[in-house]
Amino acid sequence: MSAKKPTTRSYPGLFVVLEGIDGAGTTTQTERVARAVREDGYKVMTTRQPSDGPIGTLIRQALTGRFVLPEGAGPLNPQTLALLFAADRVDHLEAQILPALERGEIVICDRYVLSSLAYQGISLPTDWVQGINAFATPPDLTVFLQVDAAIAADRRADRGGNPELFEQDDQQERIAKEYQAAIRARKGDKLVKVDGTLTPEKVTEAILKTLRPMIKKAAQG
Ligand code: TYD
């Protein structure tokens, strides 16, 4: 990847990102939308951040408390985690996302830079988080799944398991606010908000309503 800041699209594929607080349904919708677009006859790569690469794997260990500081000092500090998310993003773009976009595929990524702005933004200056992500290729479309923090909390409770690092209810309220601030502050990127409290079928339908015309346009070059 060039060290210059990416500005314009220079690949034949389409880069789509799904965002929302924990329990908003990004993982479910990534798979559902991918299935529908594949049925339309297009090649789709689904992926996620943190990625399944080496740094992403380390991050997942940090989120579940398996990777901590020595001497009982607790979880990684917010700066370290923010830098890891940004580093994972660079590797993930280079190894998987950009090659797929260059092959003309539709890439659907479960979380991206907006997650860093929202999650790391609760404890760090936005400008700094933005700065360490400055080289990240902007998505062609970001879909924000809007779900009230209380509803998302119920969904996480139904799912069971131990809460991850950011999954405390009060934190999720703050993350939801940071998302809205980051959405308001973003410049130029195409973003649609979809009501994530609808049935999974209806959410998929709403996403496809925006996505299908974009795919058609991209396919026409
Ligand atoms: P998540 O998609 O919830 O993974 P899983 O379904 O396996 O639990 O993502 C893991 C967590 O990482 C989630 O709480 C959001 C957080 N996160 C950040 O804090 N910053 C980021 O830049 C990204 C991509 C995720």
User: In DSSP terms, which residues pair with 74 in a beta bridge?
Assistant: 69
Give the model's pLDDT for residue 189.
87
Q: How far apart are CA 78 and CA 210, in angstroms?
A: 35
How does pLDDT run across 108-165, given as a tens digit for each residue? Answer: 999 999 999 999 999 999 999 999 999 999 999 999 999 999 999 999 999 999 999 9
Nearest atom in ligand 1 to 113's CA: 22
- Residue 166 Cβ < 6 Å to ligand 1: yes
Taking 50 as the threshold, does the pLDDT of residue 95 lie above it? Answer: yes
- Residue 63 Cβ < 6 Å to ligand 1: yes
Nearest atom in ligand 1 to 111's CA: 24
- To test the pocket of ligand 1, the residue of 63, 77, 90, 174 to mutate (highest count of ligand atoms within 8 Å of its CB) is 63
| % residues pLDDT > 90 (the chain) | 91
In 3D, which of 67, 169, 198, 59 has the Cα closest to residue 116? 59
- Residue 22 Cβ < 6 Å to ligand 1: yes
pTM of the shown model: 0.96
Residue 108: what are its φ and ψ, rounded to 5°? -115, 115
Taking 50 as the threshold, does the pLDDT of residue 1 lie above it? Answer: no
Give the model's pLDDT for residue 2.
47
How does pLDDT run across 42-71, given as a tens digit for each residue? Answer: 999 999 999 999 999 999 999 999 999 999
* Ligand 1 centre distance from Cα of residue 163 (Å): 12
- To test the pocket of ligand 1, the residue of 97, 112, 115 to mutate (highest count of ligand atoms within 8 Å of its CB) is 115
What separation, in Å, do the N-terminal and C-terminal C-alpha atoms of the chain show? 23
Give the model's pLDDT for residue 186.
86
- Residue 119 Cβ < 6 Å to ligand 1: yes
- Residue 50 Cβ < 6 Å to ligand 1: yes
Q: Are 82 and 116 in contact (CB under 8 A)?
A: yes
Structure letter (DSSP) for residue 84: H
